[in-house]
Amino acid sequence: MTTDVTIERVGVVGAGLMGSGIAEVSARAGMDVVVIEANAEAAEAGRARIEKSLARAANANKLGGLTADEILDRLAFGTDVAELADRQLVVEAIIEDETAKTAIFEAIDKIVVSDDAVLASNTSSIPIMKLAMATRRPENVIGIHFFNPVPVLNLVELVTSLHTSTETAQRAEAYAVGQLGKYAITSKDRAGFIVNALLIPYILSAIRMFESGFASKEDIDQGMVTGCAHPMGPLSLADLIGLDTTMAVADSLYDEFREQLYAPPPLLARMVEAGLLGRKTGRGFYDYTS
């Protein structure tokens, strides 16, 4: 595998909040991007999400002299993974579900032609080895974990498994840092990696505090904003992340370590079952419909 080849052709599987953000920043950096979704409606929703984001960036003069249309011309949307055959890098960015992600890696492994192609996951918590072993080339598989909103937050976690080759890690870093201009930190392959292994217990602790009636949600959040200079409180942050994603990461951490601090509180489970997932559904710990 060579390490001096610039990534020019990127594939993104999933056009939700994370996938659309990854596709957008890749296109803004000059890459040709193919975005694959489960159906035409979801693909169109992803395109609309990117158009809205680019419009905001254009209004703030943050497109680096390009127009939104020029960037959109670098993006193609489809529903067939076969369209990823010529990609040099494919980033999986679907729901935080191990079975679903494994199926995607099995599919793209069969489709992507180049032996040098990097197969990456944006998973928040699932060990990369589990995904890598679904392919015939685990040395090409790596975690490239972006943070929401992708066009705004500068951090990327690069997660290497026991099989990830040095060349794959170097190409992933060159893409994230050299081409996208992100700041990369490197994590060993364990559930939650660095950020979520620290962040999720903090959020779960806040949920338990609220659930027990110890303090109001407003006071919990304001305490961390005003007292610790956090940009937002833990319950507001859970709403931003999505309570389903928060629970999925907690489940992954608990499955791996069996430590009580990672166990999802009953209130979180009930809210997910009720479809109260935070900002994306209009209601979580707070109401966003008004």
pLDDT digits (tens, 9 = 90+) for 121-165: 999 999 999 999 999 999 999 999 999 899 999 999 999 999 999
Tokens linked to 43: 């693909």
The domain boundary residue, chosen from 135, 162, 188:
188
pLDDT digits (tens, 9 = 90+) for 63-85: 988 999 999 999 999 999 999 99
> How would residue 3 be classed by pLDDT, with cut points 50, 70 and 90?
low
pLDDT digits (tens, 9 = 90+) for 250-278: 999 999 999 999 999 999 999 999 999 99
Q: Is the pLDDT of residue 286 over 60?
A: yes
Q: Are residues 132 and 16 in the same domain?
A: yes
Provide, rounded to the nearest whole percent, the portion of the chain with pLDDT above 90. Answer: 97
Predicted pLDDT of residue 290: 82
- Cβ burial of 136 (10 Å; 0-12, 13-18, 19+) is exposed
Predicted pLDDT of residue 20: 97
**Has residue 290 been placed in a domain?**
no
The domain boundary residue, chosen from 132, 166, 188:
188
The domain boundary residue, chosen from 139, 162, 188:
188
Residue type, 66: L
Is this prediction's pTM over 0.85? yes
Q: Is the pLDDT of residue 2 over 50?
A: no
Q: What is the mean pLDDT of residues 97-109?
A: 97
Q: Are residues 127 and 51 in the same domain?
A: yes
Domain with residue 135: its CATH number is: 3.40.50.720
**Has residue 286 been placed in a domain?**
no
Residue 136 CA to residue 117 CA, distance in Å, equals: 12
pLDDT digits (tens, 9 = 90+) for 205-230: 999 999 999 999 999 999 999 999 99
Q: Are residues 50 and 82 in the same domain?
A: yes
Sheet hosting strand 9-13, strand order edge to edge: 75-78, 32-36, 9-13, 89-92, 118-121, 141-146, 155-160, 183-188
List the catalytic residues: 124, 145, 157, 196
Predicted pLDDT of residue 5: 76
Residue 71 CA to residue 50 CA, distance in Å, equals: 10
Predicted pLDDT of residue 1: 44
Tell me the pLDDT of the chain averaged across its residues: 96
pLDDT digits (tens, 9 = 90+) for 30-60: 999 999 999 999 999 999 999 999 999 999 9
The count of domains in the chain is 2
Q: Are residues 95 and 56 in the same domain?
A: yes
Q: Is the pLDDT of residue 120 over 90?
A: yes
Predicted pLDDT of residue 43: 97
Residue 102 CA to residue 85 CA, distance in Å, equals: 18
> How would residue 200 be classed by pLDDT, with cut points 50, 70 and 90?
very high
Predicted pLDDT of residue 4: 54
User: 238, 174 in Cβ contact below 8 A?
Assistant: no
Predicted pLDDT of residue 255: 95
